[in-house]
Structures are given as C-alpha cells and as structure tokens.
Structure 1
Amino acid sequence: MNSSVRHFFPHAVAAVFCIFFLALAIEPVSRDVWIAEVIPVVLIFVSLVATFRWFRFSNIAYALMAFWLFWHTIGGHYTFAHVPFEWLSQISSDGRNHFDRIGHFSIGFYAFAMAEWLLRNRCCSLKLAMVFSIFFVMSIAAGYEIIEWWYAVAKGGDAGLEFLGSQGDIWDAQKDMLADTLGAIFSLLIYHITRPDLHQNR
C-alpha cells in the first residue's frame, strides 16, 4: 500500500460509510428501531471524525472499527433478527439469525483501538493495555445489554422486542457479551502481531 493510499484510507472509508448510511436510512423496516440502533453508530462515527486531527489511529484500527459501523447500520435498517442473510440462519440447527452475534463479535474489535491509544500515549505496558482493553469491551457489552433491556421495557410492543433481538433465547444477553469478549481477544491477537504503536504508518 503506497503512502498516499495509506494517508487517505480513513477519509475514503468515512466517505463510503456516509453514502452507505444515507442509503440505508431510506425506508427501514421499523423507523423506531432504526433510530434506536443508529444512535451509537452516529455517536462513534462523529467522535472518530471530531478527534481525527488530534489522534489518528492506524489504518488497521479504522478498518476494524468500520466493520462494526457498516454491520450495525445494516442491522438497524432491517432489524437484526430479520436481516435477509439466509446463510446466517444455517450456522446452527436452531434456525436463529446470527447476524447480531457477528455484530457483537465485531464490537470487540474496538479493543484494538483502545490498546493502540493506550500504548501510543504511553499510558501503560503492553500487557496492561491488553487486559484493560478486554475489560473496556466487556464493560461496554454489559452496558449495552442494560440499555437494550431498558429500551425494550420502556418502548414495549414489537419495537421493544425487535431492539432487544433475543429471538426467544433466554441466554441471549450472556451469549452477546461472550461474543463481544471473543471479538476483543481476536482483535488483540491481531494487535500483538501488527503492533501499530511501533509502526504508526500502518
């Protein structure tokens, strides 16, 4: 990857995402669910754009974070339980749509960015950054499950159930948090291999 491509990679990803987001904002399956689902997407995207001039993550970090932004935007448009990716329902014998499980796994990718931020700012050692980044994702995962519960109770009806997305699984919240954690471990393995804090041009 030449230097110009590396330099403008975040800009290109941001531009593509904006177009993608606007396209999927048109006639979602449930407008109420869409609004609730895109709030974290918008907050994270705006935060990354607003802080770009002060801290530029590695391209690997932006690619990993962008995966969740795109994936969650698709889920918001269709509602996670009804995304028309039939092959995801064939992963297990229960016929469950696992689109949201992959979404939770990709939330764990933000552990990569957290570790990079900690190490490039020399806040701690590599081992402590890894541990803190996993706990960071686990706390976000737990917090999001609480928000889902509050919204489902407050909103009620079909919108509440669709946002909750449990699809009849009584252990859905626990499995979601496990997926978040596994995603964090996966992304930190990538971090350990690539070490963007030592090679900031990646």
Structure 2
Amino acid sequence: MISGAAAVWNALPVLQRRMILSLAVAIGLANIAQPYPDLAPLQHGPTIALLIAAPWLLRRWPLSNGATGCIWLFLLLHTLGARWIYSYVPYDDWARALVGHDLSWLLGTSRNGYDRLVHFAFGALLTMPLAQSAHRFGGLRHGWSLAFALAAVGLGSALYEIFEWLLTLLAAGETADYYNGQQGDVWDAQKDMAAAQLGSLIAMIALLRHRR
C-alpha cells in the first residue's frame, strides 16, 4: 500500500507535488496557536481531506499545472480565512502596519469583507479547472465547457449556502453564527453567491479572449 501511494505521488508533475506540500505546510501554520479551536475542524477538515486525496484525484483525472494552481491558490486563500473563521481576518491591522490606513476606511465599509473575497475567488479560480475537466473528461467543446463551469460554480455556491443554513439549524446558535459569518447581513447568502458568479463570469470572459 505504501509503495502504491509512493508510485501515485511520484507520477505527479513536480510542480503539483510542491503545491500539495506547500498547502500542507500552510494548514499546519494556520493551526499554530489557533484562536478558534472549536471551529477549526469545521474550517480545515474538508481541506485536509482534499489534500490527502489530491494525489489520487490528480492521477485519475490529471489537470494542467495552471488549473491545479488555481485550485491551490483558492485553498490557500481559504486556509488563511479559516484560521480567523473569516469574520475576523485582521487585514485592517496588516494594512495599517504597511500603509498607515486600514482597508475598511479606504473602502468605506465596517464589515469584514474577506469572506466575500473568497467567494469571488471561488468563481474566478475554479472556473478554469471545472472547464478543463468538462472538456477533457466530459467531452464538451470549449464554449460548452465554460458554460458548464459557470453553472457548476452557481450550483456549488448554492449548495454551500444550504449547508450553512442546515448548520444554523443543527448547531448551537453562537457556533453557527461564527461559522456562517453573516455579520448581521440578512442578504449575506445572496451576495456571496453573486460574488462567486461574478468571479466565474470574469474568468469565463478572460478564458474566451485568451483562446481567441
């Protein structure tokens, strides 16, 4: 079994192996002195499961380094947000240290917007891998593969928001509120889905222009 796993690992392109290893390091660093240990398993658990399965998935359904890099970058953004359960990512502190002003002041908002950024990145970064998978393994033409990716992003966003809603019903109130990160916005789910679809649409247009 170990030799089989080693064979799968060694069969991957070097760059993809480096991506997997660097993501594992990022997850480890994100859990040092974890500020929200009760929610860490919910936040990082799916990423760890995907990380473990990644060599077999990429061996069975190989993607280009570019498509794999898009997934890698999205998971890095998620891992950073997961450390502070998204609602408390201290980007304002980082901005003040660098330029003397916080981003919320520059943007005129009091809401922590990191979660909205990652929803946008979900659409922008996963459109290429989804389209490539639909083209390579589903036999779809280039245009139809992009349309599939746009629809898949919408479906994925909706399913995730339904999962958050179910969590709200099943989990303790405070735990659910922290995980969902609505921050008092009753339209948070709709805005998150819109951000993901906007990101996917921009990526689709960019990929169409690149192909031409």
Report the TM-score, using the length of structure 2 for normalisation.
0.81
RMSD of aligned Cα (Å): 2.0
After superposing on structure 2, the runs of 4+ consecutive aligned residues of structure 1 that deviate more than 6 Å are none
Deviations 1:169-197 (A, max 9, x none): 111100100111112123323433555xx
Letter in 2 for 1:157: G
Deviates more, 1:168-177 or 1:82-91: 82-91
1:11 offset after TM fit, Å? 1.1
Partner of 1:171: 187
Identity %: 25
Mapped contact 2:27–2:44 kept (Cα < 8 A) = no
Partner of 1:4: none
Mapped contact 1:24–1:73 kept (Cα < 8 A) = yes
Mapped contact 2:134–2:148 kept (Cα < 8 A) = no
Mapped contact 1:34–1:77 kept (Cα < 8 A) = yes
CA–CA distance in 2 between the matches of 1:135 and 1:67? 21
Deviations 1:119-176 (A, max 9, x none): 1235222221111111101011001011111112322233211111011111110010
Mapped contact 2:36–2:84 kept (Cα < 8 A) = yes
When Rg is computed on C-alpha atoms for both structures, the one with the higher figure is 2
Are 1:117 and 2:123 an aligned pair?
Answer: no
Partner of 2:80: 74
Residues 91/99 of structure 1: CA separation in 2 closer, same or farther (3 Å cut): farther
Report the TM-score, using the length of structure 1 for normalisation.
0.85
CA–CA distance in 2 between the matches of 1:43 and 1:190? 31
Are 1:46 and 2:52 an aligned pair?
Answer: yes
Deviations 1:27-80 (A, max 9, x none): 322123221122332343334322122232112112211121111111111111
Tell me, which stretches of 5 or more residues in structure 1 are unaligned?
A: 1-6, 196-202
How many residues are matched?
190
- Bigger share in helix: 2
Greater relative contact order, per chain length (Cα 8 Å cut-off, separation 6+)? 1
Tell me, which stretches of 5 or more residues in structure 2 are unaligned?
A: 1-12, 93-101
CA–CA distance in 1 between the matches of 2:17 and 2:175? 34
Q: Helix, strand or coil: the match of 2:23? A: helix
